[in-house]
Amino acid sequence: CAISDVQAACQDVAVTQELLKEGFHRDLLVKVELGVAGEDAGGCTVAARTRLPPGIYVDPDELASLQQQNLTKAVLIPDVVDVEAPEYLATDLLVLLYMEPDPRCSHCFRAALPVHGRYHRPAEDSEEASVVLKSPEVLVCCCDAGLSAECWKPAGVEAPCSGKNGGPCQWYSLTHKPAYEESILQVPVGLRQHSSLVCVVTLLATVLCSSLTLAAVCKYGDFS
């Protein structure tokens, strides 16, 4: 890829991210506006690299299904995710989210990614746990045009420009000032004072279901 210099101002680059919906299952919406610098960015691929903390994860199977439908393009690092692990046993997840041009804006890009909250330890006095999601890093790869070289620096990312299989290209990290430094996901959690009640109800439900299952097996089972 070759970089062609255009007159641009780094501060014109705007990045916003939103967590849509409520509860454990959300959509992470990322928008990038290249401003004046984006007038000649038609040949550029734009991606958002964000680090998801242990309290949030992406389901690889769900992502694969969306990519087959050409609805979302993203790379997970690592690509194997334990979706059953609670927050206190999980690790960070790095996501490279490829963005699509916004038809309503000639120099804007956007992308959405389904994310899910993990279960947290019970809390003492709060029914919600806060998961802080930092503003993403904006990456660009330009083959036909480019942004001002003053606004970016080489990024150590080995991923194809298109989000499909192929050799990695040269990505650049774009200097910008995010609209918000971080987003906060509120995840419902249980209260510790309810532990005894939860244990009793769980035990009773387990005994009842096991009894019903055993009764059904004895009544309808074929033991011949």
Tokens read off for 60: 């690889």
Taking residues 88-103, report their average pLDDT: 91
Contact 115, 187 (CB under 8 A): no
Task: Give residue 5's pLDDT.
Answer: 35
Strands 93-98 and 100-101: unpaired
Q: Is 62 left (phi over 0), alpha (psi -120 to 50) or beta?
A: alpha
Residue type, 94: L
pTM of the model: 0.74
| Distance separating alpha carbons of residues 88 and 103, to the nearest angstrom | 41
Contact 87, 118 (CB under 8 A): yes
Task: Give residue 3's pLDDT.
Answer: 35
Report the b/e string of 123-135 with b at 16+ CB within 10 A: eeeeeebebebeb
Task: Give residue 98's pLDDT.
Answer: 92
| Distance separating alpha carbons of residues 178 and 39, to the nearest angstrom | 20
Q: Is 70 left (phi over 0), alpha (psi -120 to 50) or beta?
A: left
SS3 content of the chain, % helix, strand, coil (to 5): 25, 35, 40
Tokens read off for 222: 């074929």
The mean pLDDT of the chain is 79
Judge whether residue 214 has pLDDT over 80: yes
pLDDT tens digit sequence for 6-50: 334 455 678 888 889 888 899 999 998 876 544 455 567 888 999
Judge whether residue 137 has pLDDT over 50: yes
| Distance separating alpha carbons of residues 4 and 145, to the nearest angstrom | 6
pLDDT tens digit sequence for 142-180: 755 445 556 667 777 777 776 555 666 778 787 766 666
Residue type, 130: S
Residue 64 CA to its chain's centroid (Å): 14
Q: Which of 3-7, 109-113, 180-184, 191-195 has the highest mean pLDDT?
A: 109-113
Residue 44: HSE in the Cβ half-sphere, 13 Å Cα cutoff: 29
pLDDT above 90 as % of the chain: 26
Task: Give residue 206's pLDDT.
Answer: 93
Tell me which of 109-113, 183-187, 219-223 is least confident: 219-223
